[in-house]
Amino acid sequence: MILLVEDDPDHEALALRALRKANVANEIRVARDGTEAIEYLNGITNGNAVPQLILLDLKLPKVDGLEVLRVIRASDKTAILPVVVLTSSDEERDIVASYRLGVNSYIRKPVNFTDFAEATKQLGMYWLLLNQCPPSQ
């Protein structure tokens, strides 16, 4: 399962379309703000599926992506999950903060659909097919 944390409906639709076009068969759950993402991840102990991959936007309402990343890395249940920041921010402080908080990869969202779709496809291919994910705990 992939957890897509994205507040922009257009970016959500593009990511979902690109993953489906790349034949990624994994279930995709969407959290539309930081609070929703944290609530989902906190529910892992109560039966929510453990994501194989989290695609995390940084510029989120309610709780920003860096705080979501802090929460992910602070919990024994989610600390080792692969997290890819997929954001429009190319600010150096966001990149540095993300890596300091333990992000696995930082990708700036391409501006046009073709490039965005290709980047999303490659993310799915690498993280779900090539990468060896940690076992569920």
pLDDT, position 72: 97
Number of domains in the chain: 1
User: E strands along 1-137, which residues?
Assistant: 2-5, 28-31, 53-56, 83-87, 105-108
Is 113 within the bounds of a domain? yes
Residue 13 CB burial class (10 angstroms; 0-12, 13-18, ≥19): exposed
pTM recorded for the entire structure: 0.91
| pLDDT number for residue 137 | 53
Q: What is the pLDDT of residues 96-122, one digit of tens each?
A: 999 999 999 999 987 777 887 788 888
Q: Which residue has the higher pLDDT, 92 or 130?
A: 92
Q: What is the pLDDT of residue 85?
A: 95
> Residue 131: its pLDDT value, please?
80
The whole-number pLDDT of residue 95 equals 96
How much is the pLDDT for 90? 87
At residue 5, φ and ψ (nearest 5 deg) are -110, 100
The string of pLDDT tens digits covering residues 46-99 is 888 999 999 999 999 999 999 999 999 999 999 999 999 999 888 999 999 999
Measured CA to CA, the distance from residue 8 to residue 14 in angstroms comes to 10
- Assigned domain for 76 exists: yes
Residue 71 domain-assigned (yes or no): yes
Is residue 136 situated within a structural domain? no
Asked whether the predicted pLDDT for residue 134 surpasses 80, the reply is no
CA 71 to chain centroid, in Å, comes to 14
Please give the average per-residue pLDDT across 132-136, as a whole number. Answer: 72
Tell me the one-letter amino acid at 63: V
Judge whether 59 lies within some domain.
yes
- Predicted confidence at residue 136, as pLDDT, reads 63
Residue 48 included in any domain: yes
Quick check: helix, strand or coil at residue 94? helix
Q: Indicate whether 22 belongs to any domain.
A: yes
Q: Is residue 135 part of a domain?
A: no
Domain that holds residue 74: 2-130
Q: What is the CATH number of the domain that holds 13?
A: 3.40.50.2300
